[in-house]
Structure formats: C-alpha cells, structure tokens
Structure 1
Amino acid sequence: MQKTILLSLLNLAFVGSASAQALIDNSPQAIAQFAQGFGTAQLVTTGAQPSIQGDVYNAKYRLTFYDCDAQQGCQYMVFSTRYPATSLNLEGINHWNQHMLYGRLFRKDNQLVLTMPVRTLGQVNALNLKTDFEIWASTVEQLEEMYLSRP
C-alpha cells in the first residue's frame, strides 16, 4: 500500500514537472499567446522590433523582442512600463536601483521608465516564462506601492 502511494506521488510529480518543463517557441507570436493566460496581450509588429502590449495581474507592460530571426526566434526580450517623470525624483530612482534586484529605473523623454530584460535563447520552458511574468508583475507592484501613487 505504501509503495503504491509512493509510486502514485512520484508519477504525479513527474507529470506535473513535465508540463511545467514544456518548451515554448521563443517567437513573439508564441510568447504573445502564452501571455494571454495572464491578462491582455496584443502583438504589435509595426516597429523596428516586435512587441507585446498588455497587462499581467493588472500591471501594464510592453514586452519588446530583440535579435529575432525566422529560424532562431528571438534572443532577448525586455519588459518595460512608463510613468510621468514627476512621479519620482532622482534620489528615489537611485534608491530603487541600489536596493531592488529586479527592474531598473531611469528617466527618458520626460518619463520614468522601468525595464527588466529576459534572455530567451532557443526555446523557453513554460515554468520559467510564467515566473518571468510573475516577477515583472511583482516588480511593478512594488514600485507603485513603495514609490508611486497607484493610478
């Protein structure tokens, strides 16, 4: 009986880990489809680099893809979002960059920009990509709660 229960648990663990380790094509189209599981996600292909605009757990983002080709997919993607530059002074920006592991803040074009790069060489697995979206949402939430008035 114990052996049967143990084997059943091991089987469940294997099945769960297999689905979590499922590989996803690192093309903008495949990642946009994956992102729709977390909120809105619209693929935009009109600029120099393809991007996705959407929200994940109510955190707005743009996910821009870099170094893309038809055979290899995209090598990098960068999450970003923008706020009015008056939202945070330079001292606050420096404090964030010194103390926060994820997300870099800077000012550009009279706006405050939060970015987080992710490397996507080859294919990505579903669990890692899900974690990247969750880290992004958490980073945005921390920035808004700690430094900005939430809109």
Structure 2
Amino acid sequence: MMRVRAVMIAVLVAMLWAGSALARDLVSAADPEAVLEAAKGFGSAELERDEVGDPRIRGRMFGVLYLVTFYGCEAGKDCKDLLFYAGWEDAGLTLEDVNRWNRGKRFGKAYLDDEGDAVLEFAVNLNYGVTPRNLDDTFDWWGVVLREFREEML
C-alpha cells in the first residue's frame, strides 16, 4: 500500500512539474517580442505601436504587406488577441466575390471596406498562451490564407 501511494505521489509531482514547465514555454499576445520572432520566421517583420500605443507588427509574406494588431490590451500591455490584416485598394472585387470566398473557406474572413477595397482578416485568440509551435502554425495558416486569397481573388 505504501508503495502504491509513493508511486501516485511521484506521478502527481511529475505532472505538476511538467505542467509548470509547459506554462513557462507558452507564448501569448502579452509578449509582442515573442510574436514578432514567430513572424520573422515567415518573412520580414517589425514591431511598432499603433495610434493608441498598442503593439502592432508590420510584416510581409509572398510580397504582401500585412499587419498583426494586438487587441484586448491595457495601456499598451497585457494583450489577449491578435488580428492579422491585409488590404488591397482597387481590387475590383464584388460583394458576391467575397461572399463566395467566405462560404468556401474556413480561415480568413474577407470583406469590402467603406471605400470598396478588399480586406482579409484572421482573428487569433492567444489568451492564456499557446506553444511556440502552435503560433508558428498560426503564421503558416495566415500564409496559406494570404496566398490563396491573392491567387483566387485578385
């Protein structure tokens, strides 16, 4: 009986240690530098601040300029979410075009802005963090969405 209890305690301690180690390795929107490092793995990227002081990444993939804006921030810090954004002036798309895109795609929401320009967005919740590998996969998906939108819609 003592042996079973000792094994159970050892397993519990190992699980708690592994969980705390994993928590230290998570990336969240509260760490813009870590998000920037992920972005740099997919092309040029630089960290800047928007007009209200929140972090923003300006990057380029496949020759397309995009932004990653940080949301849910408090005084420019402790952000919760990301929004990937790309826009094209005078793309010549119709409402039917963007509706067709939105019906057929799981990732990447398209719309026409107030000036009729094409916009592509991709919202990501990073509240509580994700692994660096998951964040890399998110940037990879953004790249897939950007490339498909450019090839199929523009």
TM-score (norm 2): 0.73
Structure 1 unaligned spans of 5+: 1-17
What SS is found at the alignment partner of 2:110?
Answer: strand
1:95-129: CA deviations, max 9, x gaps? 01111111111111422110000000122211110
Q: Which amino acid aligns with 2:104?
A: H
Superposed counterparts of 1:67-106, under 5 Å: 67-69=72-74, 73-106=78-111
1:142 equivalent in alignment to 2:145: no
1:32 equivalent in alignment to 2:14: no
RMSD: 2.4
Residue 139 of structure 2: aligned partner: 133
**Residues 57, 67 of structure 2: 8 Å contact kept:** yes
Aligned residues: 129
Q: Which amino acid aligns with 1:125?
A: T
Residue 6 of structure 2: aligned partner: none
Q: Tell me which structure has the larger Cα radius of gyration.
A: 2
The whole-number CA distance in structure 2 between the counterparts of 1:32 and 1:58 is: 18
Residue range with higher mean Cα deviation, 45-54 or 95-104: 45-54
Identity score, percent: 30
The whole-number CA distance in structure 2 between the counterparts of 1:46 and 1:80 is: 14
What SS is found at the alignment partner of 2:128?
Answer: coil
The whole-number CA distance in structure 2 between the counterparts of 1:59 and 1:84 is: 13
Residue 6 of structure 1: aligned partner: none
Structure 2 unaligned spans of 5+: 1-20
Task: After TM superposition, give the deviation of residue 34 of structure 1 in Å.
Answer: 2.5
**Residues 28, 130 of structure 2: 8 Å contact kept:** yes
